[in-house]
Structure 1
Amino acid sequence: MAQHINADKAALVRLAGDRRRDIILGSCGMQRDLITHMLRERQNPELFLAQEARWTAGHIWTDTGRSKPTTGRDSGLYTRLLQPNDIEHTLLAVIYTGDDQHILFWLHRGAEAGPFRPNDRRVIDSLMPHWQRTIRQKLAFDHRHTALVVADTVISQAPFGLFLINRDGNIVRSNRVADGFTAANDGISVKNRSLVFGTREARNRFAELLKAAKRGGKEVENGLPPFTVHKTCGNGSYQVGIRPMRLPARRGTLSFRNVIAIYVYDTSHQSVLNASSLRSLYELTDAEARICSLLYQSYNLPDVARTLGISINTAKTHLNRSYRKLGVQSQSELVRKLAAQLYLG
């Protein structure tokens, strides 16, 4: 039977020697990287199939090696999501030969079962929608899982400290840098799963901003201003920013989906918010980015104009364009928004 599929794929159908199994080979159009991924996952076949595939051809392979081509059908005929109708089946593999991709699976048959009839379309009609549906689920799961892995990697490798806390103030996630800050116990520590700051002023300010973040409103939409936490050793300080992260509610999501992100920057190691970072982040021109960068570094507008060798009116023109792109209306709002962003460098 292997030669009917492809001689170099014989290993994929070695189980066909079991006389209780019938092999079905169905063709559909899928990308090869998806096929490769599915091959790696074939030990868990029930998580598999379904894509908006057009079933252009198929063959039913019997124990005797006889085959009969099935009539090509559009996947639109399989839109009704059917259960496998108690037909026991397992995905064997997904292979491709040349430009043709195939889904290969077998039907488990009892010893008392009669010969499988190649023209019996009931089996295909019931199984194909099931496989299509389950592959959609698998692909959606893989997509979300990949996104979570990427996000987790970015969080772990970020050059700033990040704490995610729930509405009760308990830490539900922290990255490597944040754990280093609390381990140093130099102005920021953790007690009973909650952040503790070394000075009363910092504790009061944190409580005030945390309350505002929970309350929401225009103040939060415009960006809560960061505050400074002085290290207890007297060398340097931390800058702390707060942003609510309200994720859309979905069935099955975790109970702490509405978390608050606490960003902590060590000012002794912070990077300057440079012009190239601003260009890519806000799609600013070179002149606009350089003006914003200098304003962020406490330059006033006349000093900015002199530093860049332009007139004050030209500097104002670039600044007004920057306001529109950043969604602010004044220089103080601009600086505050830049201060609330991640330090880029």
Structure 2
Amino acid sequence: MPEGKVTAFAEFLGGEAARDSDFYRDFLAAAGGDQILGVDLRFESGFEARLRATRDRSLPDFGPAEREAFQAIVPHLRHAIGLFERLQVSGAEHGVYRGTVEQMGVAAIILNRDGRVVRTNVVADRLLEAGDGLTLADCRLRLKDGSQRKELEALLKSLDANPAPQRFRIARASGRDLAAIAKPIAAPAFMRGGAALALFVSDPGQEAQLEPEAIRDLFQLTRMEANLAVALASGRSLVDAADALGIAHNTARSHLRSIFAKTGARRQSQLVHLLHGGVQ
């Protein structure tokens, strides 16, 4: 249909000829009539939206007033759909960034101004569960070292005055400090109760562990494909990985072909290298 112009179904398919089509007999007749107004919206990115308003035979036909009302809201629909498209792209990008951070073995902990934990990734969950150097208490982040705990509290109180990222180390009883970067999150005033500080924590002496969820987000794999990729990266053969996951060998081979297509790898050894080193 013409882009941005409200059009009736009968106009689009040629009036009476439409009633003789298979489409009309199989769908519209069952729906109760051909009273359909529609508009197609196309965006520079290639995204398309096709919107339709329908009535059955029990209601009066669409008239000029309905068509004008539909046409009047087209700019608003275009704006709303444009926002939806940007949100979808932003969500996809967020998944990639999150997967990359986790793949690099970096814990991400988001705090509000009170030190309450708003969000964590799987690497952070593992660190907090271990309770070595940092832990959760009443949903608030607690550093075991008293002086470092006071430094973090002072940082949370001075976010507006000192927006630059701060680097510090988190002491642990096990003897190997964690490296941390605290980065204030810019947010409008009405969101003062939300995310205020992003804390990125890593263990310099520990090799990054592969997380199926991170692999899944990073390469847009299915859950089973991600589990298989991690199993292969851990040194298992395809047969052993299939047995461990409880799937048939032929199914595993099919999943592996899909993994190759999505990651760009051509061989199993290349896939393992990509997962272990290429992303880091």
TM-score (norm 1): 0.46
* Alpha-carbon distance change, 201 to 19 in structure 1, aligned in 2, over 3 angstroms: closer
Output aligned runs, 1:1-345, within 5 Å. Answer: 4=14, 11=23, 14-17=26-29, 18-24=31-37, 33-35=46-48, 38=49, 91=52, 105-108=53-56, 110=58, 113=60, 116=61, 120-158=63-101, 159=104, 160-213=106-159, 216-217=160-161, 220-221=162-163, 223-234=164-175, 236-249=176-189, 256-269=193-206
| Alpha-carbon displacement from aligned partner over 1:225-261 (angstroms, at most 9, x marks no partner) | 3221122112x211222221122357xxx66345111
Equivalent residue for 1:81?
A: none
- CA–CA distance in structure 2, aligned partners of residues 29 and 204 of structure 1: 54
Q: Using the alignment, how far apart are the partners of 1:212 and 1:26 within structure 2?
A: 52
Q: Distance in 1 between matches of 2:157 and 2:187?
A: 19
Aligned residues: 193
Opposite residue 227 of structure 1, the aligned amino acid is: F
Cα RMSD after superposing both structures: 3.7
Equivalent residue letter for 2:55: L
Q: Tell me how far apart the structure 1 counterparts of residues 78 and 22 of structure 2 sit (CA, whole Å).
A: 25
Aligned residue for 1:226, secondary structure, equals strand
Query: How high is the TM-score relative to the length of structure 2?
Result: 0.56
Distance apart, 1:4 and its partner CA: 3.3
Change (3 A) 1:199 1:24: closer
Which sections of structure 1, spanning at least 5 residues, go unmatched? 40-47, 49-90, 92-104, 272-343
What is the identity percentage for the equivalent residue pairs of Structure 1 and Structure 2? 16
Q: Compute the displacement of 1:26 (Å).
A: 5.2
The separation in 2 between residues aligned to 1:246 and 1:228, in whole angstroms, is 23
Contact 2:115 2:140 in 1 (8 A): yes
Q: Where is the helix percentage greater, Structure 1 or Structure 2?
A: 2
Q: CA deviation at 1:144?
A: 1.8
The alpha-carbon distance between structure 1 residues 27 and 33, as it changes in their structure 2 partners (threshold 3 A), is closer
Q: Which letter does structure 2 place at the counterpart of 1:238?
A: L
Structure 2 Cα separation of the partners of residues 224 and 25 of structure 1: 51
Change over 3 Å in CA distance of 1:151–1:157 after alignment to 2: same
More RCO (CA 8 Å, sep 6+): 2
Q: Work out the CA distance in 1 between the residues paired with 2:195 and 2:77.
A: 30
Shift of 1:29: 5.7
Give me the whole-angstrom Cα distance separating, in 2, the residues matched to 1:164 and 1:110. 55
Instruction: Specify the structure having the higher radius of gyration (Cα).
Output: 1
Three-state SS of the structure 1 residue aligned to 2:205 is: coil
1:41-94 superposed Cα distances (whole Å, 9 cap, x missing partner): xxxxxxx5xxxxxxxxxxxxxxxxxxxxxxxxxxxxxxxxxxxxxxxxxx2xxx
Contiguous gaps of at least 5 residues in structure 2: 1-9, 209-278
**Structure 2 partner of 1:94:** none
* SS of structure 2 residue aligned to 1:246: coil
AA paired with 1:137?
A
- Give distance in 2, aligned partners of 1:249 and 1:207: 20
Q: 1:330 corresponds to which residue? A: none
